Structure 1
Amino acid sequence: MRADKHKHTKKKRRWTSILLVCLLLIGAVAGYAYFQFKQGVNQSLKKINNDNKQANEAYTFEGKKDQYGDTNILLLGSDARGKEKARADTIMIAHYNEDKGTFKLTSIMRDSYVAIPGHGKHKINSAFARGGPELMRKTIKQNFDIDLQYYAIVDFDGFVQLIDEAFPNGVEINVEKKMEKNIYMTIEPGLQRLNGTQMLGYVRFRHDAIGDFGRVERQQKAVKAIREQLSGFQTITKLPKLIGVLSPYVNTNMDTADALFMGKDFLSSNRGTMATLRIPVENSFTEPRIQGEGAVLDIDVEKNKEALHQFITQ
C-alpha cells in the first residue's frame, strides 16, 4: 500500500511540474507577444508624431455577424486620415469563417451607384463622407443584405509601414505594365520586388484604359501576394509586432486579441488560395453619366446581391 501511495504522489508531482512548465511557457509567449506588439506601436507612433498626423476620429458601429455565422470586416482605405469629409478610396469586405479558419475577399468598386439610406442614390464611396463607417455598413446592408461586424479604416501610410516591416526586401509582384501617371513614381513592368511606397503606387494606379477595374484587380492580387509571402510559422511569430506597427494607422472597432486570432488564420500556410469577388460582377452594370456625379457604375443590385451571397456560402 505504501508503495502504491508513493507512486501516486510521484505521479501527481510530475503532472504538477508539467502544468507549471506549461503555464510558464504560456506566460513567456504572452509576454513576448505583448513586448513585440508595443515595440511595433511605439515605432509607428514615433513616425506619426514626426509627421504631425491627426488623431483618429471616434465612430459608432452597430455591426454583427451575418446570417451565415461568418464575421465580415469592412476594410476602407483612406489617404485623408482625420478629415471628416473624405470619401473612401478603397472598399473591401473580408469574410472570415471561424470554423474553417478561412478568408474570402470582396471588393466593391467605389463608383457603384447605389441607394444610400437617407441620402438617395450616389456613388457608394460617398457613404463614408456622409456618415462614416456606420453609414457605409447600412448602405451595404440595404443593397446587398449582408451584415458587417467590424470595420477598419486604414491610412495608406500604415500600409507602407506594414510592407516595409514585413518585407525588408520587398513584395514580389509581376507588374503587368509601366505605371507612372499620378502615383509620383515610375514602376517598370516585369517580375520584381516592390517596397512599401512602390506597392502603394501599384495598388492605387488607375490611369489607363481599364481604370478602376484594373486597380481593383491589382488590389486583390496584392493582398494574395502578401498573404502567400507572409505565410508560415516564422511570420506568425512576427504577427504581434506587425499588428503593433499597423495599429496606430488603423481606426477600428476590433480589439487586439481578435486581430491576432484572425491574423493567425489569415497567415496560416495550410488554408489554400483565398477566393476573391468584385462587385459589380460581369454583365451586371451600365456606365452612364449622372448630373452631379459624373461617370458611375449603375449596377443591377439583385444580380450582385445574389452573386455576393453565393460567393460567401460556396
Structure 2
Amino acid sequence: MEKPKKRKNKLLLIVLITILVLFIAALLGYGFVLSKLNRLTRTEPSSISSSNDISYDQFDHEDAAANEEMQAATEGLDEREATLSTGDVFTDSDVVNILLIGTDERTEQFSTNARGDACLLLSLNKVTGKIHLISFERGMGVPILDGQYEGQYDWLTHTFRYGGAELMMKEIRECFKVDVSHYIRVNFNTFIDGINAIGGVDICLTQAEVDYISRQYDKGLQDVSVGLNHLNGETALCYARCRKIDSDWKRIGRQRTVIQAAVDQVKNLNVLELNSMLDTVLPLIQTNLTNEEILSLALIAPKFWGTDFIQATIPLADTYGSMRGMGGRSMFSVDFETNAKALQEMLYDGIEQE
C-alpha cells in the first residue's frame, strides 16, 4: 500500500503536468491566432493634412457619371443649407463602433488615390447584445474638416481621397457625434476573393436584378434566375454595385444584404474551411485595429452569435434636400442635427449617458 505522502506527491505531479500541458496548449493557440492576425495590412495613425494632395477636378469619368445621377436624384428636392450637429460626441466603453470602408480598387494593393465607394458603421452594443449596420449615403454633402479644402462641401465618398480612413472617420464622428476611431477597409478584389473563399452567398434576386446582371460582361459572372441564387464573388459584387435599375439608396441596401449573407455563410464553415478562408482574406484587409483589440472583440463575440444586423441608412427619409458643393457637384444637403440624434438613439440604446 502506498504511503499518504507518496500519493500526495504523485497527485501534485499530475496536477503540475496538467497545468503545464494546458499552458503550452494556450501558448500554441495564442501563437496560432497571432499568426493569422499578423496577416492583416496594418496602418498607423497619421496626420490627415499629410494625406493625398489631390485636386477636386482630377476625378475621372465615373465621377462625371455619378454627378449626372446625383443631379437626377436631387431633382425636385428643396434646396437648403446643411444643418450641422451640435453637442459632444457620444462615447461609451459598452458600445464598439467600427467603420467599414469599401474602396474602389480592383487590385490586391490598396491605393491612396481611391474613393470610399461604401461607408458603413458596424456597432456592437455589449449591454443589449444588438448589432447595428448603418449605411451612409455616399452622395451626401459633408463639410471637409481638414486639409486644403477645409470648410467646403463635397461627397462623403471623396473624403477618402482627401484624407484616407482618418478623415472619413472624422467626418462620421463630427457630423453625427458618435465615437468611431477604428476602421476595416476592403476593396473590390477583397470582396470577390472573400466571397469565393467562404463558398459563395445565398441571395434572392428580382427580375430587374437578374436582367441587370445578365446584361453585364464582367469576367466570372454566373447565369442567374429569379429567386434564390448561390452567388460567387464576381456575381455578388455585380449585385452589390447595382443601382441603375432603381437608385443608389437601393444599392446601399444590397450591400448590407451581401454582408448579412456572408456572415450567415461563415457560420456554416468547419474549422478547416474557416482556416483556409482566413488565410485568403486576412492579407486583403486593411485596418488600424491592433491584435489585442481584435482578441478583445473575439472574447465578446459569443454574446452576439446568431444575432442578425439591425439595418438602417443615413440620412433618414425627409431629413435632406439638395445643394451644390465643390466643383458645382450636386449632393444631398443633410440635417445632421436630426440624423445625429437618431443615430445616437439607435447605437446607444440601453446605455445611460452622464
Deviations along 1:4-27, one digit per CA (max 9) or x if unpaired, are 433432332221122123123324
5 Å matches for 1:4-15?
Answer: 4-15=4-15
1:217 aligns with 2:253: yes
Letter in 1 for 2:96: T
1:206 aligns with 2:246: no
Question: 2:262, 2:303 → 1: CA distance?
Answer: 12
5 Å matches for 1:206-245?
Answer: 206-209=243-246, 211-231=247-267, 234=270, 239=274, 241-245=276-280
Question: 2:13, 2:323 → 1: CA distance?
Answer: 77
User: In structure 2, what is the equivalent of residue 312 of structure 1?
Assistant: 347
Letter in 1 for 2:287: T
TM-score (norm 1): 0.79
Q: 1:254 to 1:227 in 2, by over 3 A?
A: same
Give the conservation status (yes or no) of the 8 Å contact 1:78–1:89.
yes
Question: 2:169, 2:304 → 1: CA distance?
Answer: 31
Deviations along 1:175-234, one digit per CA (max 9) or x if unpaired, are 12322366735754320100111111111111112x111111111111111112212683
Identity rate of aligned residues, in percent?
A: 23
Q: 1:194 to 1:268 in 2, by over 3 A?
A: farther
Q: Could you tell me how far 1:98 is from its partner in structure 2?
A: 5.1
Q: 1:306 to 1:162 in 2, by over 3 A?
A: same
Give the conservation status (yes or no) of the 8 Å contact 2:42–2:287.
no
Give the conservation status (yes or no) of the 8 Å contact 1:183–1:205.
no
Question: 1:111, 1:263 → 2: CA distance?
Answer: 34
TM-score (norm 2): 0.71
Question: 1:207, 1:76 → 2: CA distance?
Answer: 22
Letter in 2 for 1:191: L
Letter in 2 for 1:278: T
Displacement over 6 Å in runs of 4+: 55-58
Give the conservation status (yes or no) of the 8 Å contact 2:103–2:117.
yes
Say which SS state the counterpart of residue 296 (structure 1) adopts: strand
Aligned-pair Cα RMSD in Å: 3.4
User: In structure 1, what is the equivalent of residue 59 of structure 2?
Assistant: none
User: In structure 2, what is the equivalent of residue 60 of structure 1?
Assistant: 46
Letter in 1 for 2:131: F
Deviations along 1:48-103, one digit per CA (max 9) or x if unpaired, are xxxxxxx99876279xx961222221211112354433221000111134567653
Give the conservation status (yes or no) of the 8 Å contact 1:187–1:202.
no
For these two proteins, the number of residue pairs brought into alignment is: 293
Q: Could you tell me how far 1:251 is from its partner in structure 2?
A: 2.4
1:71 aligns with 2:96: yes
Compare relative contact order (CA 8 Å, sep 6+) and give the higher one, 1 or 2: 2
Unaligned runs of 5+ in 1: 45-54
Letter in 2 for 1:195: N
Give the conservation status (yes or no) of the 8 Å contact 2:202–2:228.
yes
